[in-house]
Amino acid sequence: MLEQEAAVFIWRRVLSAVLASEAHLDALDAVGDGDLGRSLAAGCRVALERLEAQGVRTLAQALEVTATALGDVAASSMGTLVARGLEGAAGALPAETPLERADAVAAVQAFAATVTRLGRAAVGDKTMVDVVVPLAELLSGLPPDLSRPALRDRIADAVHSAVERTVPLRARKGRARWLGEASVGQPDAGSVAVKIAVDAALMALSATTDEPRARDDPAGRT
């Protein structure tokens, strides 16, 4: 179980991590038009400002606010798909009550289903679907009694290998498909962005749940 405020804290860490990866993601996208990092960072920056200004206290609301921010300032295909995916995920979360593990699983599945449907992409097309679909599948198959550290390891490993599997692929969707052979040999930039987000969430999850201070301060701040 996770308090809503702790979940919002984790989500803010996710946004900060993507924001901090601007240059890295731009470099990976240099084979394309080199703006993935800048556009996602712009969206995350606005989302963080709005979360603060609006005093958002639930994860569902935080995802909605982020989706709107991405739609407003990062309306690229990737930005728009992520926005729609986050709206889908928000719809799978409880409005008020603390979050159960099943809620998080449902949210990730809703995200994966939305971006796959709207983006009309499949695993192997070298898009973020290559990471979000295996992640959603892993989560739905995990035993409910798995310990938190084991859970984190399984998720981190699965996402890491999923990104690695995009390296030899040739892009088949979006404008990246015109890159042809130039897209082979490096990971899909969108998949890397998802990994950065997931890794940040896992890190922040340890900070909010494993350490004693988390009981006093659900936001995990010191």
Contacts with other proteins, residue ranges (CB under 8 A): 26, 30, 33-35, 38-39, 71-77, 79-81, 84, 118-119, 174-175, 178-180, 182
Residues, the chain, total? Answer: 222
- Closer to other proteins at the Cβ: 33 or 217? 33
- Closer to other proteins at the Cβ: 39 or 209? 39
Residue 154: CB minimum distance to other proteins, A: 32
d(Cα 192, Cα 91) in Å, to the nearest integer? 25
Query: What values do phi and psi take at 143, rounded to 5?
Result: -65, 135
Q: Are 132 and 108 in contact (CB under 8 A)?
A: yes
Residue 55 DSSP code: T
Instruction: Say how many CA atoms lie within 13 Å of 51 toward its Cβ.
Output: 28
Residue 178 DSSP code: G
The distance in angstroms from the start CA to the end CA of the chain is: 21
Residue 112: CB minimum distance to other proteins, A: 17
Q: Quote the Cα angle for 137-165-134, to 5°.
A: 5
- Closer to other proteins at the Cβ: 16 or 80? 80
The structure tokens listed for 50 are 């709005």
- Unique residue bearing structure tokens 């699983």: 105
Residue 5: CB minimum distance to other proteins, A: 29
Q: Are 31 and 182 in contact (CB under 8 A)?
A: yes
- Closer to other proteins at the Cβ: 104 or 171? 171
Residue 25: CB minimum distance to other proteins, A: 12
Residue 20: CB minimum distance to other proteins, A: 17
- Closer to other proteins at the Cβ: 178 or 217? 178
Residue 219: CB minimum distance to other proteins, A: 31
- Closer to other proteins at the Cβ: 118 or 219? 118
Q: Are 116 and 126 in contact (CB under 8 A)?
A: no
Q: Are 125 and 172 in contact (CB under 8 A)?
A: yes
